[in-house]
Amino acid sequence: MTIEAGQPLAGQPTSARQAGPRRPLGGLGRAALGRAGRAALLATGRPPVPDALEPLVQAHRRHHPQADLGLLGRAYRLAEESHRGQKRKSGEPYITHPLAVTVILAQLGAGTTTLVASLLHDTVEDTELTLDQVAEGFGPEVAYLVDGVTKLEKVDFGAAAEAETFRKMLVATGDDVRVMVIKLADRLHNMRTIRHMKPASQVRIAKVTRDVLIPLAERLGIQVLKAELEDIVFATLHPEEHTRTRALLGRHEAGPDTLLMPFARDLGRQLAEAGIAAEVTVRPRHCVSLHRVLLKRAAAPGPDGRPQEPQPADFGRLLVVVEENADCYAVLGELHTCWTPLPGEFKDFVAAPKFNLYQSLHTAVALAGGEVVEVLVRTRRMHEVAETGVVALGDPGQPGTGGGDQGRDELDRTDPARPGWLSRLLEWQQETPDPDAFWSALTADLAGDREITVVTERGETLQLRAGATCVDAAYRLGEETGHRCIGARVNGRLVVLSTVLHDGDRVAVLTGEAAGPDPGWLAHARTPAARLAIERWLADHPPRRPVVRTGPSAGQPAPPDRPVAADRPEAPVSVDGRPGAPVRLARCCTPVPPDAIAGYPVRAGAVTVHRAGCPAGERMLADGRGALEVSWRPGGAPQAGYRATLRAEALNRPRLLADLTAAISGEGVGIVAADVEPPQELRVRHTYTVELPDPAALAAVLRAMLRVSGVYDVERPHAPAGGGPGRAPAPAAGASAEATAPPEGNGDDPRAPGVRTSWGIHGRTAALSGQRSPSPSRGPEG
C-alpha cells in the first residue's frame, strides 16, 4: 500500500478526475459515477457532503463501506468555518492541512471517529472552538482525541512546551493509541510541506521527527508512514546524499528489470504448478532503504579490495502474499527446493512476531547467475498489519473495524500492538518531572530499532530494548529487585551485570542483602527506568566520606592505641633473606595454608608465591629464575583474604549451578568468579574462585560441594603431586561427610602406603581396590 503524496488540496471544489484514478464500473465513466453516487446519497435522505471531501470519501469507502458520511460532513463544515481566514506558511487556506491529514488516515484505513477527530485536531489549538463544544457536537471520544494532539502553549511552558506536549500525547496514547496515529499523520503532512519553513526550522523539525516520531511509527507498525517520513527527513538533513541515492534509483527505474520481474514470473509459475494460490510482486525499496544497502555494500570490499557496486537485486525484494498461514511455509518449501537458500538469511516472524506485530517469513535465495534475491512471504492479513500496524486492528472499543475487537477486552483502550513498551515508557516518564531529563530519556529509549524478549528461569517474559544488560533485566523485575541485585545467570552461566542480553536468553537475577546499586551500574543501564531508579537511589544515599580526626576533641578521651596489624595484617608469607619484600600469591594455583609453596623473584623486587608443583612456577624455574625459600607466616594474611580456585566434576542436571553456589555460600564463603563449561557426554565442569574468611574453611567448602547431588569429584586446579588438601575427601560408606577430613602430609592413603588417594568418587574406588586413580582432570569412564 502506498500513501498518495500529491500536492495539498486547495479547498476549492475537487472533481473526480483530480482525485486520482478509479476503477470503471460497467460502461459508466468517472463523471457519471460521481453523479450517480451523489444521486444515491440524496435518495437515502442523508445530507450531501461537500465536494472537497470527495477524495476523503473515496478513500474511506474502500475500507468502511457503511461509514457515516454525514458525521464527516458536519466535522468538515465546523473545521472550515473555524479556520476560515487562516493561512498556512505556503499561502494556502489552513483547512487544507486538516483535510490532507484526514485523507492520509483514510488511506491507512482509520475509522470514522478517528477521521472526525483529525478534521478537528487543530481547532481547539488555533481557533476559538473549545473542547466542551467539540464534546457537545461529536461526543467525548472525539474530544479526547482532539485534546490529546493539542499542543501546549509556549506562553505557559516556554522552552519546555515541546517536551511537555509530547509527554501529554504519550499519556493520552496510553489510553487511546489513535492519539499518536493522528499526530503521525499530522507530522507527515507537515513534512511534505516543510520546504515552506525557514532552513533552521526545517532542520529542527526533521531532527525531532527522526528521533521521536519515526521510532514511534515503527513501534506502532505503520510502515508506509514511517518510510515516507524517513525519506523526507533524509532529504532535509542530508540533501546531497539523498540526491545521489534518488538519481541512482531513478536510473534503475528507467531501465528494464532483467532480474526481479523474471524471477517473480518464474516463482509464480512454480507456485501455480504446486497448487499454491499466491500473488507474487516486486517490492521496490524506498530511498532510505536503498541508502542503507549502499552503505553495507561500501563497507564490505569485494574480491579486488574495492567497495562493491550496487547489484540489481539491491533495488527491491519479492513479496509473496498467500491466503493461509500454512501456505507461507508451503511457499518457503518451494523456494528452498527450487533455488539455493542462503544459510543464516531465514527469519521466521510468523511464529515469533516482532514487537510491533509484524509477521512475515524472510529468506534469501541464490539464482542461477549467482544473484541473491530477498523474498518476503506473508498472508493478506499479515500484509495489512505490516503496512498499517495498529490502524489495521481497528478503532478500540468499536466492533467490526478491521478486527480490532477480536480477542481483546472492549474496555482495554491501550495500544493493541504491544501495551508493554508503552506502559513502561509511561512508568518512567512519571518519575522525570524535569522536561529536559524527560526529553533526553525519551529519545534514548526510542533510539533502539527493536526490542528483545528474554525469559526468566521462573518463566516470566521480559520485553527489553535491544542492547539491554542484566542491570536492565533486574530493574525490569522491580525496583527493589534491582537494588538488591548481586549477580546474574544467563543461559545457566554466571555472568557480570554488564553482560548484554540477546533475544531468547534465559536470565536469573541473583539477589542478596546488598546495600544498593553501585554508581558504576549507570554505565551498564540502557533503559531509562533502570537509570532513573539508580540515580534516585544514589541521590537518596550519598556515599559516606571517612572522618579524619587529628586529635581528641574537647571533653572526649583519646582513643586507645591500636596495633598496626589490626588494620593492616602482616604479609602471609616470609621470604628467607629478603625481609620486607612485597609478596603476591599466584592466582593460577591460589596457594592457601598449609600448602607446600615456592617463591620466585619478579619485577621490582617482589616475590610471587606458587604452590609446589604448579606448572607456572616450574616454567619460571626453567626460565632461570631461582626458587626462593618461603614459608607461611603464623598470623599473617593477605589484605583481601585468601582466594582459592575449586573445580567440581558432576553429572549434568537441572539446578546444579544453584545447588553448588548455595552449598558454597552456606559455608560463609564468598564467590568471586565462576565458570560453567558446556556439558560433554552428560558431564559438566564448574570452576569457582572463592574468598575464604579463614584458611581452615577450605576443607569444609570442599566437603560441602562434594555432598551436592551429582557431583563426583572436587579438586583444586594445578594440584601438586603431594601436600595440602588438593581434593575433597569422599565420605566413606557408613560415615558422615562431616566426620571425614582430608589427610595431612603428602596425601598418601594411610591404609595402603605408597598408593595415592584421589579424593572423589572415582578416586575412592581406586583406593579401595588398591589401584592408582585416574587423572584428576578426567571424569568417570563410560
Annotated catalytic residue 126: yes
Over the range 113-136, which residues count as b (16 or more CB within 10 Å of their CB) and which as e?
bbbbbbbbbbbbebbebebebbbe
Q: Of 4, 51, 125, 228, which residue is the catalytic one?
A: 125
Look at 294 and 764; give whichever has higher pLDDT.
294
Q: Which of 356-370, 673-687, 750-764 has the lowest mean pLDDT?
A: 750-764
The model's pLDDT over 41-80, given as tens digits with 9 standing for 90+, comes to 444 445 567 888 899 999 999 999 988 888 999 999 999 9
Region 719-734: mean pLDDT is 42
Q: Which of 368-372, 409-413, 467-471, 474-478 has the lowest mean pLDDT?
A: 409-413
- Checking if the pLDDT of 771 tops 80, the result is no
Which of 43-52, 84-93, 228-237, 739-748 is the most confident on average?
228-237
Please report how many Cα atoms fall inside a 13 Å half-sphere around the Cα of residue 336, on the Cβ side: 15
Confidence of residue 547 (pLDDT cuts 50, 70, 90): very low
pLDDT of residue 722: 41
Look at 264 and 744; give whichever has higher pLDDT.
264
Task: Report helix, strand or coil for 507.
Answer: strand
pLDDT of residue 237: 93
The answer to whether 657 touches 686, Cβ cutoff 8 Å, is: yes
- Checking if the pLDDT of 285 tops 60, the result is yes
Q: Which of 403-407, 491-495, 724-728, 756-760 has the lowest mean pLDDT?
A: 756-760
Confidence of residue 157 (pLDDT cuts 50, 70, 90): low
Pick the closest to residue 68 from 44, 51, 32 (CA basis). 44
Query: DSSP letter at 315?
Result: G
Task: Give the helix/strand (H/E) hosting 161.
Answer: helix 161-175
- Checking if the pLDDT of 637 tops 50, the result is yes
Which of 372-386, 513-527, 660-674 is the most confident on average?
372-386
Length of the chain: 782
pLDDT of residue 455: 86
Look at 91 and 641; give whichever has higher pLDDT.
91
Rounded distance between C-alpha atoms, residue 428 and residue 437, angstroms: 11
Look at 208 and 504; give whichever has higher pLDDT.
208
Percentage with pLDDT > 90 across the chain: 30
Look at 646 and 303; give whichever has higher pLDDT.
646
Q: Of 4, 54, 126, 570, which residue is the catalytic one?
A: 126
pLDDT of residue 467: 84
Annotated catalytic residue 374: no
pLDDT of residue 46: 53
DSSP secondary structure, 321-341, as one string: EESSHHHHHHHHHHHHHHSEE
Percentage with pLDDT > 70 across the chain: 73
| Beta-ladder partners of 324 | none
Instruction: Give residues with Cβ within 8 angstroms of 257, minimum separation 6.
Output: 282, 312
The answer to whether 58 touches 67, Cβ cutoff 8 Å, is: no
pLDDT of residue 514: 62
The answer to whether 104 touches 189, Cβ cutoff 8 Å, is: yes
Rounded distance between C-alpha atoms, residue 441 and residue 427, angstroms: 12
Task: Report helix, strand or coil for 529.
Answer: helix
The model's pLDDT over 662-691, given as tens digits with 9 standing for 90+, comes to 899 888 888 888 888 888 877 899 999 998
pLDDT of residue 648: 93
Crossing angle (nearest 10°) for helices 112-119 and 54-63: 160
